[in-house]
Structure 1
Amino acid sequence: MLLFPADPLRPRRPDDHFAAEAAAARAAGVPVALVDHDLLASGQDPARAVAAVPTCGVAVYRGWMLRADRYADLAVALAARDVRLKTTPEQYRRAHELPGWYESLRSVTPDSAWTTGADRPAFDTARQALGGGPAVLRDWSKSAKHHWHEAAFIPDLADGDAAWRVATRLRELREDDFTGGFVLRRFERFTGAEVRTWWVDGRCALVGPHPDTPGATPTGEVDLGFLIPLVAPLDLRFVTVDLVRHADGRWRVVELGDGQVSDRPATVDPAALVTALSRAHLEPA
């Protein structure tokens, strides 16, 4: 079954953001159940959050982002109802947090260094490990790219105080959602629109635009031949990989994320995503 967040004001209906996917799933004969995302995200009462999920079955979550520990709570609450998530909490953490996937994709993604925690000495150690030059800052799971100059872009890693001001602002903006620690990624010059690719059990099931640029199409064909032998060994059930073309023409990985919490661009037919999942035959591991 597919699990969607319930509308906070109309708990018997899916959240409007996921309503089209839920309708497409039902039309394809895929069972749909609703969970209370607010209860899950707060950690207050996971059992009550999944009370509307039928007992006994296997599920894929399609909803708002959850911290890895909250996803683990979801798995435990569902297990008490004899429902198993196809993506385990360990797999979710590896996909959701950059340190879990970086080494496997190191050759095709910008050089990165990170901290555990948010203290200045650890940040400086990571900063110095990358050397000088510009970098992009984020935490283990997300950036503040919409606050580019104040909380994401570092013009020169050699300027420790200026870099720390950006880090401090990122920490402020992320508040309680700040995850793991700081991640510094070497800045690379890209061209054209990002592409979001959807993978099921190591195979690409769907290629489309990125949610930030839903109407944009990539320049030239997206050749995934270089990526297949890197994604498959990760042993992740359902992920997205965001790609963009480097100024020198190479395709580069911007991000890998768990597909359960990856946004679907409005220009991608929701039935296409449901069909992609169905055709990939996500059998229990």
Structure 2
Amino acid sequence: MMLLVPGDPLRPRRPDEHFAPEAQAAREAGLTVAVVDHDALAEGDDAARAVASVPGGDTAIYRGWMLRSERYAQFTRVLAERGVAVRTTGEQYRRAHELPGWYPTLAAVTPHSTWTTTAARADFDRARAALGRGPAVVRDHVKSMKHYWAEAAFVPDVADGDAAWQVASRLRQLRADDFVGGFVLREFEHFTSAEVRTWWVDGRCVLIGPHPDTPYDRPPGEIDLRWLTPLIGALGLPFVTADLVLRADGVWRVVEVGDGQVSDRPVSIDPAAFIAAVVDSLRLESSG
């Protein structure tokens, strides 16, 4: 199996500094490591050039910066032309990366959500009406702007259409060209813990650790994942993360699912341990 990572913008033959520790650990574990031009992939102007240094004839996983779903699909196509099979297909990436792809399967264990497929006010109002009343969090299909909580994330009452639209519009402005899909409205729930990031390979949890935003907040003891395992398995996706948080009533909730290839590793998890737990599991599942 081959690990693909973004190249350093200033030294394109070397891995990006952020992913260099994982690249080194992968090499030490016996994986081939190749770099790709993330900027060229993200812009979509010359995807073939972006993978020019990738050797052919192997199965690959990507560990890098987020790509829009259509760009990732283009990425897999140009790799296929070089004889490289990516462990996660374009369709699988979209279902993990965008909330409408994973939400129906996990609806019982995540805040109630509605969404639009455009940025139009009329569509937003329909989604808002479907959610009902009360506080909510607004985001797009991929990301929130939680660091701009009061102005671009939290809606005190979705019944107040103008106030809700003001928050959504600010989110749209801040996300700019990175805005994906449409608006998502999620019912607000009171949480009492830092997020826990869980890593899954073919429906099996292979690693539990902190969220990258709070890398030194360790999970509170053992977490029984029997309630979540069949749901992640039902997604049928090869490599995902699920971020969990404790609700005020002591119930674990899923607040986010993501494609594992573009989910960040918290700095508190040793890269060698990460490669051993995640990448080697992918390699073994692939060969099996």
TM-score for the superposition, normalised by structure 1: 0.98
Per-residue displacement from partner, 1:100-124 (whole Å, max 9, x unpaired)?
Answer: 0001000000000000110000000
Three-state SS of the structure 1 residue aligned to 2:198 is strand
Would you say the 8 A contact 2:56–2:82 is kept in 1?
Answer: yes
C-alpha distance in structure 1 between counterparts of 2:253 and 2:17, whole Å = 33
Equivalent residue, structure 1, for 2:188: 187
SS at match of 2:195: strand
The residue aligned with 1:28 is 29
Unaligned runs of 5+ in 2: none
CA contact (8 A) 1:114 1:184 kept: yes
Tell me which residue corresponds to 1:242.
Answer: 243
**Pairing of 1:260-271 with structure 2 (within 5 A):** 260-271=261-272
Task: Indicate the SS of the match to 1:205.
Answer: strand
- Output the CA distance in 1 between the equivalents of 2:111 and 2:125: 19
Tell me whether 211-220 or 232-241 shows the greater mean CA deviation: 211-220
Task: Give the 3-state SS of the residue equivalent to 1:158 in structure 2.
Answer: coil
Identify the residue that residue 282 of structure 1 maps to in structure 2.
285
CA RMSD, aligned part only?
1.0
Q: What's the offset of the Cα at 1:222? A: 1.3
Aligned equivalents of 2:164 and 2:100: distance in 1? 21
Kept in 2, the 8 Å contact 1:136–1:154? The answer is yes
How far did 1:271 drift? Answer: 1.1
Residue 280 of structure 2 aligns with an amino acid whose one-letter code is: S
Looking at structure 1, the residues matched to 29 and 222 of structure 2 have their Cα atoms a distance apart, in angstroms, of 30
Hey, what does 2:141 align to over in structure 1?
140
1:284 CA displacement: 6.1
The 2-side partners of 1:147 and 1:270 are apart by 31
Kept in 2, the 8 Å contact 1:86–1:284? The answer is: no
Is the CA contact (8 Å cut-off) linking 2:5 and 2:62 kept in structure 1?
A: yes
Moved more, 269-278 or 208-217: 269-278
Which residue identity lines up with residue 49 of structure 2 in the other structure?
R
Distance 1:260 1:225, change over 3 A: same
CA distance in 1: counterparts of 2:203 and 2:181, whole angstroms? 26
Structure 2 counterpart of 1:258? 259
Q: Which residue of 2 aligns with 1:199?
A: 200
Map of 1:66 onto structure 2: 67
Are 1:105 and 2:106 matched, yes or no? yes
Partners of 2:78 and 2:208 in 1: CA distance: 33
**Structure-1 separation of matches of 2:17 and 2:197:** 22
Higher mean displacement: 275-284 or 178-187: 275-284
Unaligned runs of at least 5 residues, structure 1 = none
Q: 1-side partners of 2:132 and 2:273: how far apart?
A: 44
Say if 1:5 and 1:64, in contact at 8 Å, map to a contact too: yes
CA distance in 2, matches of 1:220, 1:205: 16
In the alignment, is the contact (CA less than 8 A) between 2:201 and 2:281 conserved in 1?
Answer: no
Misfit runs of 4+, over 4 Å: none
1:42 pairs with 2:43? yes
CA–CA separation in structure 1 for the residues paired with 2:134 and 2:220: 28
Name the SS of the counterpart of 1:253 in structure 2.
strand
**Could you tell me which residue of structure 1 aligns to residue 5 of structure 2?**
4
CA distance in 2, matches of 1:61, 1:5: 9
The CA distance in 2 between the partners of 1:16 and 1:133, in whole Å, is 43
* Residues 284 and 164 of structure 1, relative CA distance in 2, 3 Å threshold: farther
2:13 alignment partner, SS class: coil
